[in-house]
Amino acid sequence: MRKKLGISMLIGLIFLGSVPVNGIHVSAKTKEEYEQELKDLEKEQLQLKEQNKDIQSSKSETEGKIEENLDKQASVQSQIDSLDEKLAETKASIQSKQGEIDTTNNEINDLKAKINALKKEIEQLKEEIEILLDRIEDREALLAERLRAIQKSGGPMVYLQVLLGSTSFSDFITRTAAVNIMMDQDKTIIDSLVRDKKEVETKKQTVEGNKKKVEENKDQVEKKKIALEGQKQELLALQGQLDNQMAERQTLLAKLEKEHQHLEEYMFTLEDEQAMLRAQQQAVAKAKEVAKQKLDQLSNSSGNNGNAGGTSSTGFIWPAAGYRASNYGWRVDPINNSKSFHLGVDISGPVGTPIVAATNGVAVRGNLSSTYGNHILIVTTINGVDYTTLYAHMSGFAVADGTVVKQGQLIGYMGATGRVTGPHLHFEVHKGGWNGFYPPNSNVVNPLDYLP
């Protein structure tokens, strides 16, 4: 856990003389006070060094988490790729199985059509058989009638009487031929009817046999269809399982990607905090240098009891002209449209608008950061209380690192560097040293409570 800085910047360098400023007179510092200030500044340097170590440790830990996150993403992506392949194979199998089912349905429909045709053929044959049976029955009845007539007339003697009744040999021959023809015709008709009946019966049996085979084939094909439908349902169930697994992996991947984004953002925050700490380290080093100079001056002067003095910052002034675009506190972030805490006030104006120091103090320039862009920190002491003011999104600087600035002195120009939607000055006030972006780590306060 990183320690809270709690920086108490004892900026002795801004005590330059015992003169009234804006009506407020500040007394001089003694040699003992400067010695104590040097000790306090050395203590602050050690705290800053420890804080930097903590941030570096957090960065290393975050880098490890980022690497672990990327490894997990790669693993999940590999699982997703594997599931994609399985899904593609399963969908192809389902499509193939559906093709088999469609082919089987066509077979069943063809077999149904054949069965219906055979049924019609059987019905037709049944009708033909009935007709033949009726004919045979009629012919048999006719023959029976003839036989009964012959029997009543003396049986075969009728044919003999017909023959003997011939008037001539020629008539005998004619009558003999007629009798033979009649008898042959009756026999031929009977034989033909019997043969037709047998043929129709045989054809009927053949058709019924074919119908039975087709129905058996249809039963087998329908069983095959049932099996194919079952296999298709199994494939659909597998696809559902794969879809669920895919959805879970995609949800996990999205979660990991969001976590990675947060880690990257946190890494940027740590880097910005580290840059801020370096700036404060520079400010403390400069403060020590100036305090040591004042101590040496007191040691070499005749008035070691504190007759030499300095001026303190008398308060705050507005750092730039323009209109207040955003206040301190909770607001809807203009970039991501989410609720967030705004750490300062935004003063909007055209690029190049002059920015002045709101207080006396030591100015330290910050490198271009993803959040603040070009920025300056000014550390000061007002009525015994340490303050750090921050000026962000500048287009350019007007002072160098470690410059001792006076209230109202030009320090830079308004711009649109860093995380912005347009040119403006983002101004923060920290009661104590800058030690974090957001409460409770941060000691940021509302600038409007201090500006006139």
Distance from C-alpha of 198 to C-alpha of 125, rounded to nearest angstrom: 12
12-28+309-449 with 80-248: one CATH topology?
Answer: no
CATH superfamily to which 80-248 belongs? Methyl-accepting chemotaxis protein (1.10.287.950)
Predicted local distance difference test score (pLDDT) of residue 424: 97
Counting as low any pLDDT under 70, the low residues of the chain are 1-29, 143, 146-164, 166, 169, 175, 178-179, 182-183, 186, 301-314, 436-441
Distance from C-alpha of 422 to C-alpha of 306, rounded to nearest angstrom: 50
Preceding peptide of 440 cis, ω within 30°: yes
Token pair for 274 = 């580290």
Predicted local distance difference test score (pLDDT) of residue 147: 61
Predicted local distance difference test score (pLDDT) of residue 440: 58
Please name the residue that has the structure tokens 């009661």. Answer: 431
For 364-390, give one letter per residue: b (16+ CB within 10 A) or e: bbbeebebbbbbbbbbbbbeeebbbbb
Q: pLDDT tens digit string along 437-451?
A: 666 567 899 999 999
Q: pLDDT tens digit string along 187-196?
A: 777 777 778 7
For the whole model, what pTM was predicted?
A: 0.52
Name 436's Cβ contacts closer than 8 Å, sequence gap at least 6. 4, 5, 273, 442, 443
Q: Are 391 and 412 in contact (CB under 8 A)?
A: yes
Domain boundaries defined on the chain: 12-28+309-449, 80-248
What is the sign, positive or negative, of the torsion defined by CA atoms of 204, 206, 209, 210? Answer: negative
**Beta strands 403-405 and 361-369, pairing class:** antiparallel
Q: Assign residue 255 a region (left: φ > 0; alpha: ψ between -120 and 50; beta: otherwise).
A: alpha
Give first-to-last CA distance, the chain, whole Å. 38
Predicted local distance difference test score (pLDDT) of residue 146: 66
- Average per-residue pLDDT in the chain? 79
Preceding peptide of 334 cis, ω within 30°: no
Looking at the domain covering 12-28+309-449, what would its CATH class be?
A: mainly beta
Name 451's Cβ contacts closer than 8 Å, sequence gap at least 6. 316, 317, 318, 358
Predicted local distance difference test score (pLDDT) of residue 179: 66
Question: What is the helix (H) or strand (E) element at residue 212, kind and residue range?
Answer: helix 169-300
